[in-house]
Amino acid sequence: MFFIKPVAKLIVALNSNTKPGAVAAAVATAFLLALIPSLNLVWPLLFIISLIARLNWGFEFVFIAVFKLIVPLIDPFIEPMGWRLLQSGPVSSLVYNVNEIPGLIYFGFNDSLMIGGLLAGIIAWVPVFFLSRFIIVLFREKLSPRIANSKFIAAVKRFPILGKLIAAVKQFSEVY
């Protein structure tokens, strides 16, 4: 029962007047954050910046968790990319010089998985943003009305716990 309100808020946010760009930026930023290992100072720094930005935090938190489950499947491709970048001449000497500065070693610039994840996340941010924005707009315009008026939803309303979820969605949609 404790999960009904958070799920309802996410459904409302997906269908609400929240700009599709804010939700898409949250998804893209969550993908970037999921690609970066969190045991360095780059991750919390980017996370704090994302909290300051006007993103949809609910979607960001949910998609960080979802993408963190998928990232281990992508890591074997990301780590060699970071390794190659770290072995290139100019980057190698830059990372060596940066790590000589006290305290900067904790940013993890010498970690091939962190550098590869950061590079892949930066490269993928724009495509993930536009893809998720397209999906959100498509969902709001085409799928949401069909789902709301479907026989399946009418049948689901009969189940007590799902009926409460639908009532919570209606309650939160009136608040927003």
Burial 88-106 (b: 16+ CB within 10 A, else e): eeeeeeebeeeeeeeeeee
Q: How far is CA 130 from CA 5, 23, 78, 81, 126, in A?
A: 28, 11, 22, 24, 6
CB atoms under 10 Å from CB of 75, counted, come to: 14
Question: What are the phi and psi torsion angles at 52 (to 5°)?
Answer: -75, -35
What are the residue boundaries of the structural domains of the chain, listed by start?
18-140
At 97, the amino acid letter reads N
- pLDDT value at position 71? 93
DSSP 124-144: HHHHHHHHHHHHHHHIIIIIH
Per-residue pLDDT of the chain (176 residues; tens, 9 = 90+): 455 556 556 665 665 557 888 889 999 999 999 999 988 999 999 999 998 988 888 888 889 999 999 999 999 999 999 899 888 888 888 888 888 888 888 888 888 899 999 999 999 999 999 999 999 888 888 877 676 666 766 666 666 666 666 666 666 555 44
* 52: Cα within 13 Å, side-chain hemisphere: 6
